[in-house]
Structure 1
């Protein structure tokens, strides 16, 4: 029995998590229990646990994961500023007259919110409260309307900037380095968050296109499922459309452009995004829009000009021109700082900042506690021989590298029915990814395949988080069974997305190879 302790440990973890006990404590508790069992039965060297302190220190000082709380804060501020409502109203009036037009608008708004907030729960709840009643009033089939809202909300996991992609970048980079060490290379390469953000852009947009095509085709074949909406609303003017879409698009370009252009690290770009989100929130809660635009313009101009014409006034050979440029930069800084101050003061008075900080703290604590507990779990699992068992299993599967990858993808998909993406990412993937990379799979391509697969875990019953979020926000006439039924076609579209990226690897590898 002792030779199967590693397998029993994984089974015990599943039971503990499904029991409803807090996840991080479940993972750590199972690790403690099996470390003791392994030591008592003489199959584990307990001195391995001496590495726990190093793992905790490494987590706290991890430069990649520091970006998570700042990106979460950016999304939380945008969520509290009710930007989703304006987007949904504008897009709904733009496309509502088409068959499936409201569905199209929900998917497009989901993509915009994904690229600006990246928070699945906030997006699903916002669209469940605003768009779902409108779709039902227009005569949409309830299950289809629920499926569209759930699926559009999950785009925040694959379209950057995304918490999932940041965690995956760290996991895959560590696995890639481990694989290089095992190949005898001691001058190892690392992977960056920017590479994974770049790799996810085309697959993320591809999924959006798949959803839109499905809605258009189904609207043509079964118009009774999604009739054109005649809600008596005027089409928005061009100024309204630009006013709703332009701010989040500019925020997306400033954040992703800074990362992909090599101007800023993900953490620095996330800080830019948080300031941009604060300014957008200020515009929504009554600050003079001209002041917000002036401040945002000054900060953007300062960032661009200081990169093109850097000034170092401490140098002895600084000329009058240098001092003049420095003075202009100082004025831009003051204008930007004043706009940020106004937005921050209004945000504090309106309780937006406090609520955003509270939700950021809660989510960040959950993610980091899970990662820390998973480090403990993996140490014990390795000590019980689990890593060798996993590597041996993958190497001896029929079909070679592709057979091993297919097994892992199916295994991750099944785990997604029961576990959260954070748990799968930090517990399961570090055990299987090094072996898959050693078999010859490109780590970035592999990471994007797994990201799409993990995105699906938000839609798969019984524990898909998007389903829970929508159940809480949906009207009472929409049943849980209808929500489950509605996501089934979109799970099939996710599978098609995985197959497309698998068969056409350049979809994930081309953009990072060009940029980096």
Structure 2
């Protein structure tokens, strides 16, 4: 009987890779932690494969420690905790609240103005935090009660906030795009090696940022056009703010000039330095974290007195240091040096001292207000989650490939009706459904490495494919009844707001997302044009 069992297991060996994926999905749906489930399932099926001779331990004995070491020393992934820190600082320091209040009062005289303000602030927060859950929760807490109180239709208010919150998936610098960029780079190199190209080209996070920028802005434009259309044809759903709660025009401009420049300049410096090739994503993330800290320390809601003034001094020094490398040659140790460059180096050194003083003052201000510990704890929690999932996903991928999973995926995609188009549609549908149940980190680190090499081998552009996947996940996160963004919003929405209103309000934005996906599919240049112009790809 035992021999018959062994024969049965050997006959099923070819199905172990498929069973492995099914087991993983089942356990994740049951609520088990993703990181430990990935590693546990990999070890279980690795041992099972070893016992029946369907798996070679050499697939993990040496590669797995190398993978872990590679994850830890990966300079691209170092940007993840820094961008998370930047976003958490901006979220906890009240900057989002000030932005929303200023924009709402400035555009409140227009029908639909409050909704447009929510969309603009949502886009700014998306470019600042890059974390969907944080943006949806922040916008829900700050703007949903206000929109309902001002007479907005519940469905319109809820749909606008949920849609604005998901912009963090596609507008760089997004955590999704950073992880996707690293995964797509590895997948692209692997696909080229399969095709016999032993000097493979690379894809950077900057390429993906550049590819996602135009689609992200177009998507924001589509959202705003929909809200403008509602204001024109269904004005009762998006009424104007009462006169007593509006700014006078000059007062509104003055308030906007006080509130908007700092976060806008920070976004331009961080994203612009990456796109211009002046800084890597990691270096830009470090600049963004320091800038966010100084902005928080110089705000009236966090600091006062001397710490506030020193933080503003640091912010001024930050601006000087951001501009000077474009105007002067600040390299040290040169044989020939012009007097103007020598003076500029001296000014830069003084600015560095002012920046250090400002950073220390901002840290003290956050500590005095009890914000420093929550910021660091939140950053550590999210970072630990991401890197633990990375390690678990690395083990899962190695075992899956050792069981022949990569060949199974490649054969399945090659046999899909419709050729390349059919394969892309099949993968997008699978990712869309998985987005109802799995977090974007899990999908990016588990599913994408399994399917991307096979798709890229079929001749697809890696930047276009990465942007399509990001928009697809964003659509999934917004789609009723399982969209994660809707769950986040339901958690902070007032009890009197029915869940059906949230679902109803999300549907028009889901339709816009689908139009965006179709537009990307029909015009790949929307994602590939800017990287080609910037980097000559």
Which of 5, 10, 27 in structure 2 is aligned with 1:16?
A: 27
Q: Determine the C-alpha separation between the residues in 1 that align with 2:40 and 2:502.
A: 34
Is 1:454 aligned with 2:468?
no
> What secondary structure sits across from 1:136 in the alignment?
helix
Which of 108, 111, 114 in structure 1 is aligned with 2:120?
A: 108
Is 1:479 aligned with 2:490?
no
Q: Which position in structure 2 is the counterpart of 1:147?
A: 159
CA distances 1:441-477 after superposition (whole Å, capped 9, x unpaired): 1110111011101122322345433222212211111
Q: Determine the C-alpha separation between the residues in 1 that align with 2:98 and 2:57.
A: 57
Q: How many angstroms does 1:325 deviate by?
A: 3.8
Q: How many angstroms does 1:351 deviate by?
A: 2.2
Q: Which position in structure 1 is the counterpart of 2:58?
A: 47
> What secondary structure sits across from 2:201 in the alignment?
coil
Q: Which position in structure 2 is the counterpart of 1:405?
A: 424
Q: How many angstroms does 1:368 deviate by?
A: 0.9
> What secondary structure sits across from 2:32 in the alignment?
coil
Q: How many angstroms does 1:287 deviate by?
A: 4.3
Is 1:348 aligned with 2:360?
no
Contact 2:480 2:507 in 1 (8 A): no
Q: Which 5+ residue runs of structure 2 have no aligned equivalent?
A: 1-11
Deviates more, 1:289-298 or 1:177-186: 289-298
Change (3 A) 1:434 1:313: closer
CA distances 1:24-66 after superposition (whole Å, capped 9, x unpaired): 1111111111112222222222321212111111111111111
Which of 434, 440, 443 in structure 2 is aligned with 1:415?
A: 434
Contact 1:416 1:460 in 2 (8 A): no
Q: How many angstroms does 1:312 deviate by?
A: 5.0
Q: How many angstroms does 1:172 deviate by?
A: 0.7
Give the number of equivalent residue pairs: 516
CA RMSD of aligned residues (A): 1.8
> What secondary structure sits across from 1:414 in the alignment?
helix
Instruction: Within 5 Å, give how 1:168-247 maps onto structure 2.
Output: 168-230=180-242, 232-235=244-247, 236-247=251-262
Q: Determine the C-alpha separation between the residues in 2 that align with 1:414 and 1:33.
A: 26
Q: Which position in structure 1 is the counterpart of 2:14?
A: 3
> What secondary structure sits across from 2:460 in the alignment?
coil
Q: How many angstroms does 1:366 deviate by?
A: 0.8
- TM-score, length-normalised on structure 1? 0.96
Contact 2:303 2:366 in 1 (8 A): no
Q: Which 5+ residue runs of structure 1 have no aligned equivalent?
A: none
Q: How many angstroms does 1:166 deviate by?
A: 0.3
Deviates more, 1:309-318 or 1:261-270: 309-318
Q: How many angstroms does 1:313 deviate by?
A: 4.9
Contact 1:282 1:292 in 2 (8 A): yes
Q: How many angstroms does 1:385 deviate by?
A: 1.4
CA distances 1:164-203 after superposition (whole Å, capped 9, x unpaired): 0000001111111011111111111111111111111100
Q: How many angstroms does 1:212 deviate by?
A: 0.9
Instruction: Within 5 Å, give how 1:232-271 maps onto structure 2.
Output: 232-235=244-247, 236-271=251-286
Is 1:58 aligned with 2:70?
yes
